């Protein structure tokens, strides 16, 4: 049984990865899987439906994703499975008419589409969105059969959930998946071993499946995913381990603790720029100089008019996380 806090933190973790960069990210969660007979399903969906409209999202920036999304939604719309939810951008457009016009021309909106795909094996089930990488602000919700109170969690995962999750005719790709379990349930290693995903993130964001590739982990398609939907190679594995099957990342604090990633409480842009600079330099001295330059320029932004700043620095002023031109 999940507590209310655990359910809220699941919602926050999922939507943060989906709404960051407008879903234009290979590590972004796209499909939300629920047991059809889960007794807390209605409670969870209420929290999810509220948060999907209120949590901020970035625009889907990747070329071609708007058109691709329309094609993926076509069959779902005919079945009445797609719901457009009014959300909000993670930044204000009111003071930037040029950007507003650009978004309008490209069809970029502050909405997100939730698609009820149904249950595999039942009438009306539609896998079109599940079986493709949308790379945009689309969320697929699928309900697996069973999952009632009378079923043992481990048996249900091994005999129902895992085989469906591993079916590449239903779910596209094998980069990463989440498992969110309450403190009252112990997750079996047999379940982790059976999942054919290169990274499995337990009670935390899928982003960390990618992040551990810099610490000895591996990021790429699963070795036994023979359709190679997620590619034929990988990055990481800096220790050269043989026959690495997957990486498992676990948030040991559990679901009761605040999520590590939360788009409702993002750090200030200057902090993200500072972290980026620190990680992208090859020495302590270089990082120190770059950070001092960053802080000096941001200080000038506070005391000089914006036109003067633009003349002095032009495009060189902004860092990866520094738009618009204010700290």
Q: Where are the alpha helices (DSSP H) in 157-263?
A: 162-165, 189-194, 207-211
Whole-angstrom Cα distance, residue 111 to residue 100? 14
Cα distances (angstroms) measured from residue 2 to each of 38, 44, 51: 11, 10, 18
46-50, 94-98, 201-205: range with lowest mean pLDDT: 94-98
Q: Is it the case that residue 11 has pLDDT exceeding 60? A: yes
Whole-angstrom Cα distance, residue 157 to residue 147? 9
Q: Give residue for tokens 């620190």.
A: 278
Are the beta carbons of 66 and 60 closer than 8 angstroms?
Answer: yes
Q: Is it the case that residue 326 has pLDDT exceeding 70? A: no
pLDDT digits (tens, 9 = 90+) for 65-93: 999 999 999 999 999 999 999 998 887 77
Which one, of 76, 68, 83, lies nearest residue 114 by Cα? Answer: 83
Q: Is it the case that residue 135 has pLDDT exceeding 60? A: yes
Whole-angstrom Cα distance, residue 317 to residue 325? 8
Whole-angstrom Cα distance, residue 17 to residue 298? 28
Q: Is the peptide bond before 324 cis (omega within 30 degrees of 0)?
A: yes
pLDDT digits (tens, 9 = 90+) for 266-299: 777 788 788 878 877 788 898 898 889 888 888 8
pLDDT digits (tens, 9 = 90+) for 240-263: 999 888 999 999 999 999 998 888
34-38, 62-66, 89-93, 130-134: range with lowest mean pLDDT: 89-93
Are the beta carbons of 118 and 125 closer than 8 angstroms?
Answer: yes
For position 312, what pLDDT does the model report? 74
Whole-angstrom Cα distance, residue 186 to residue 183? 7
């Amino acid at each position: 049984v999940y507590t209310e806090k655990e359910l809220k933190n699941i919602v926050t973790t999922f939507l943060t990865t989906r709404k960051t960069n407008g879903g234009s990210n290979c590590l972004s969660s796209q499909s939300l899987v629920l047991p059809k007979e889960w007794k807390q399903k209605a409670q969870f969906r209420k929290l999810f439906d509220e948060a999907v409209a209120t949590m901020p999202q970035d625009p889907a920036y990747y070329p071609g994703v708007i058109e691709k999304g329309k094609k993926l939604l076509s069959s779902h719309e005919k079945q009445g499975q797609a719901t457009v939810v009014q959300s909000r951008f993670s930044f204000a457009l009111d003071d930037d008419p040029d950007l507003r016009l650009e978004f309008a021309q490209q069809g970029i909106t502050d909405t997100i589409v939730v698609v009820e795909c149904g249950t595999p094996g039942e009438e009306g089930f539609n896998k079109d969105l599940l079986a493709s990488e949308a790379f945009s602000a689309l969320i697929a919700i699928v309900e697996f059969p069973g999952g009632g109170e009378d079923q043992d969690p481990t048996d249900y995962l091994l005999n129902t959930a895992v085989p469906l999750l591993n079916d590449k005719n239903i779910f596209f790709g094998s980069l990463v998946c989440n498992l969110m379990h309450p403190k009252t349930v112990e997750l079996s290693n047999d379940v982790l071993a059976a999942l054919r995903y290169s990274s499995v993130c337990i009670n935390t964001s899928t982003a960390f499946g990618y992040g551990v590739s810099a610490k000895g982990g591996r990021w790429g398609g699963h070795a036994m995913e023979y359709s190679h939907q997620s590619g034929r190679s990988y990055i990481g594995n800096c220790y050269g381990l043989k026959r690495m099957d997957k990486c498992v990342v676990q948030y040991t604090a559990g679901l009761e603790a605040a999520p590590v990633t939360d788009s409702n409480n993002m750090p200030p842009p200057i902090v993200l720029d500072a972290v980026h600079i620190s990680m992208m330099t090859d020495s302590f001295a270089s990082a120190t100089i770059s950070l001092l330059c960053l802080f000096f320029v941001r200080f000038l932004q506070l005391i000089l008019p914006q036109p003067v700043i633009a003349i002095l620095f032009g495009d060189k002023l902004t860092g990866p996380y520094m738009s618009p031109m204010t700290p």
